[in-house]
Structures are given as C-alpha cells and as structure tokens.
A and B are shown apart, each in its own frame.
Chain A
Amino acid sequence: DIQMTQSPSSLSTSVGDRVTITCRASQRISSYLNWYQQKPGKAPNLLIVAASTLQSGVPSRFSGSGSGTDFTLTISSLQPEDFATYYCQQSYSTPYTFGQGTKLEIK
C-alpha cells in the first residue's frame, strides 16, 4: 500500500498568512494526488485534482504543486473560511490512501 504522510499535523495561523502543507507519498505516484478540505461536521470537499488543477469554484488563493513523491498545498492569504482540516489522497492505485490530515487553527 502507498502511505501518505502530511506535515504539519496542525498549524496555528492568522488571517492573511501564507500557508503551505506538504504531503509525501511512500512511492512515486506521478501527479495522481488530490487535496480535500473538511470543515467540522461536514463532508470533505474536493479542492485540487491531479496535484495542481483547481476544482471549479475553488478560490485562486489555493494552489497545488508537485509530482512523484512530494506535493504541496499553498493558501496564499488565509481567509476566515479556510480554517479547516486538509487531506491529501493518492489515486494512483487502490487502496486509495489519505494523509492523516492537517488542521488549520486560528492563532
């Protein structure tokens, strides 16, 4: 199975900050990497597919990059509605594994 490791697990941040979350795969997965946002009590929402393609309706302050084993999700200027938990997920092969999540908290 492909293991996905995110860092950090949590981050205390402020509105307006630039935030970067990293995700590392245990083997090369090309660009088969997706990012999801989950708010408390809600289902996850697909933000970015194929490492860098924003889903329709996702604000341009979100961006993704990477290929192979190392990936990043960047939020250029954090907004109040962005405080949530973010998960990476590989779709290279089953089992479709997720990272453990990164929780963004208000400083």
Chain B
Amino acid sequence: EVQLVESGGGLVKPGGSLRLSCAASGFTFSSYTMNWVRQAPGKGLEWVSSITGSSDHIYDADSVKGRFTISRDNAKNSLYLQMNSLRAEDTAVYYCTRIAIFGVVRGMDVWGQGTTVTVSS
C-alpha cells in the first residue's frame, strides 16, 4: 500500500525551530518529486516546498524562503522539513504529498494524514 506518514509536529514558541519528517512506503520513493503543503486552521491549502527525486531541484514558497529547508534521504525513504524562525502565521497542518506525472501535468496524488504545528507563546 502506498503510504505517507508525517511526524514531528507540536507546540513551539515564536522564533523556535521544528523538524517535520515524512516516512514513505509502498513505492519507489527516489523516483518521485515530493512536496510539503500546509493548511492553516479554517483556511485553504498552501504549497510550501518541493524537492525532486535526486534533490537536484528545490522550490520554496516566498512565505518560507530562508526559514524552511526541505530535504530527503532516499536510503531511508524519508522527506523532511526543517522549520526555523517560526512565526504565528506558520501555524497549520502540514501535509507531505507525492507528485505524479500524468502525461505532462503534475498532480499531488498521495497525501499523508498531516501533522499539526502550533506556533504560540
């Protein structure tokens, strides 16, 4: 079964750091670009960051650039998000997602269950 399981969320003070992890199973992890997408309480979806299969290309949203770092370890089938200088507006459920290619169009076809990050003093 194809599965993504996030962990590492929690309560952190403004300015603090947190590292999210995503464990992948059931597919050839290294063949896929992976994403983090977040959803603030009661709000819509916001793409955060993407990393290609071999880590040769990384893309970040402007809202997290310079503060968040996406990475992966293909030997461990794991995706990570290092979050530094956290702000209240980073409070959200963070989803790990897989990008699949349909012809030429990319779609996020597998999602984890999400991990909650709360930034509050």
> A residues touching B (Cβ–Cβ < 8 Å)?
1, 31-34, 36, 38, 43-46, 49-50, 53, 55, 87, 89, 91, 94-101
Contacts and interface: CB of A to CB of B under 8 A. Distances in A.
A53 B111 contact: no
Contact of B45 (A50, A87, A94): A87
28 contacts: A32-B105, A32-B106, A33-B105, A34-B105, A36-B45, A43-B95, A43-B111, A43-B112, A44-B108, A45-B111, A46-B109, A49-B105, A49-B107, A49-B109, A50-B103, A55-B107, A87-B44, A89-B47, A89-B108, A91-B105, A94-B47, A94-B59, A95-B62, A97-B47, A98-B44, A98-B45, A98-B47, A101-B45
Contacts of A98: 44-47
Contact size class for B?
A: 20 to 34
A98 B59 CA distance: 16
A23 to B, nearest CB: 13
B114 to A, nearest CB: 6
B113 interface: yes
Nearest to A93: B59
A16 to B, nearest CB: 28
A19 B117 CA distance: 35
Contacts of A89: 45, 47, 108
Interface of A is mostly: loop
A94 B111 contact: no
Nearest to A43: B111
A8 B116 CA distance: 28
Given A44-B108, A87-B44, A91-B107, 14 more contacts: A34-B107, A43-B95, A43-B114, A44-B95, A44-B111, A50-B102, A55-B107, A89-B45, A89-B47, A91-B105, A91-B106, A95-B47, A96-B35, A96-B50
A44 B108 CA distance: 9
A66 B4 CA distance: 31
B61 interface: yes
Nearest to B63: A95
